[in-house]
Structure 1
Amino acid sequence: MKKSSIPPKSIESFIHAIDRSYYNYEDQFNMLQRAMSISSQELFEASQKLKKEAEHQKKVIASLTDATQILQSITIKRPKGSNQNKELTGIELAKLIEQQALQISEIEKQQNILLKNLEKRNKELNEYANIVSHDLKSPLRNIDTLIHWIKEDTKGEIETPVKNNLELIQQNIQRMDDLINGVLEYSVIDNVSRTPETNVDINILTTEILSSLQLPENITITIPYTLPIIKSDPVKIQKIFQNLINNAIQAMNKDKGEIGIEYEEKLNFWEFRIKDNGVGIAKKYHDKIFQIFQTLDDQKKSTGIGLSIVKKVVEFYNGKIWMESQQGIGSVFYFTLKK
């Protein structure tokens, strides 16, 4: 036999290469087995999950794009010639959101400054109202005192026309005093720091109001059932009931006057009703009577502030007030207070 001419080292390298190929084959075979061990169902579920995640990401990007486009249209002036419908890249979108966040932060700072200025102005107005009311009342008291002195010094000597004129002056002084008090009350309704909120028993409150009134003998006020207890400022709530009850008394023109105080509990609020069988109000005046200084009283006994105070207090508590009325039959005033 002829001897091989292949050097021993070459044969060794060849055998080593063959050996490495077996190892590589084993690795590939293991990978193939691993791939084959994954069932088709698992592959389908994994694929579906990836698709859902991709769809979710698309929706998030679309929502962010819509939001930023809206913000752009409101707060950013695009340069002329720019493409309004151009899609934003991820980096552009992030920059735009950052820009909007900075603008919103700046707006909030401006709003805080504005609120502080409004609070300061409101405090100044309240102080001004108190000063003005005091300054206006002082000469009224002086005039009233002088009239009393004139009456005392001229007892039995003063003529009837002069006496009537002096009484008319005193009536107007009283009306002016009531008007000043009304303006002062109206100006401080928004002041939340005057009286803290507490549990207000409407039964006790209405009893106190009725006991302080000079109720005419021909008028009866009825409360058919127990009224609720609400959390509120008792002074403000008293203004509502006192003004509405006084309004019903003044509007009474029947020999047998009837005034009723009722309520109904709703889901999120209380609905109160104060009704009377008085003169009634024409529909065209239903909005006017809630405006300040507006009155339907021909004799000008009313200041025209009472119902505007009621409306302002009700709206202060995010409630509503309205009325139903027919001339010659009577009126029903409704108002709501949130629980």
Structure 2
Amino acid sequence: MTTVNTGAPDVADEPTGQHAPATEARSANAARPARDGRIRRGIGMAAMIAVGVGAIGLGTGVSPAAAERAPAHAGWDGSRYWFKDSQGQWRWTSHYSVYLARTGGAESSSKSTSKSSSAASSTSSSKSSNGGIKPGWDGSRYWFKNTKGEWRWTSHYDVYLQRTGGSSGGSSSSGSSGGASSGSVAADRNVEAAVQYALAQLGKPFRTAGNGPDGYDCSGLVQQSFRRGGIALPRVANDQYAATTPIKASQLRRGDLLFWSPNGTARGIQHVAIYLGNNQYVEAARPGTRIRISSISKGYYPAFMGRP
């Protein structure tokens, strides 16, 4: 019998299955570190994900409201209604009906009145339960009593006039040097419309040369407010004074303008504000502040006063 050499001299002498398993074992041993490495990397990634989830979970419980300063008292602060809940914690709402509900007040006619037309009136329970209501404008609405002696309110000046017999509430003056007190509604409805517009801008930022609606400087606020009342005024504070009728402190009434001048001259006027009555005025004061209500003081007394 003839033997043929195939070029693999050891093949004929190798028992079947001897070398192949050794090769597979080496391959398996080589693959095991790779698998172990992948497992370790997988565990590491899972740990990182777990840490990340934990970090996210920690962040979700933080609320910006926690840094909000508590109000000085309950009730309207010019932008919202403040009250304390059953646990004595401060809460706020922008809805008057919610405020009444949370403070035990009554609002028997609110569903059919101001919420549906925004011009009708709403009930309040009493002066004591609503923080001492006074007739006229309170910074957000007009208050008056109906024929039954019940408190009602409206957000519209014309409705207020109708419900009070067409009287604007008049104005009273005082000869004191601290400024005159006035009724809570301007004698002229166009002026009152200007006052309303200015009050609606409370909380917006001071903006140099700002004409609104996102921000104003002092004369920009005055000009835009009186424009809503159909009264045209110049843009600059000293020109606005020149366009008014000069008045004395004893003549001040709601809607008049107050002017401040560092050098005491009319041409030196640098600031203007709208008088609200009771020694208060609404102003866009200076950069870094927001439109606010301030009080006349001896340390910062207006040099001039004028009636548009």
TM-score under structure 2 length normalisation:
0.31
TM-score under structure 1 length normalisation:
0.29
* Structure with max Cα Rg: 1
- Greater share of residues in helix: 1
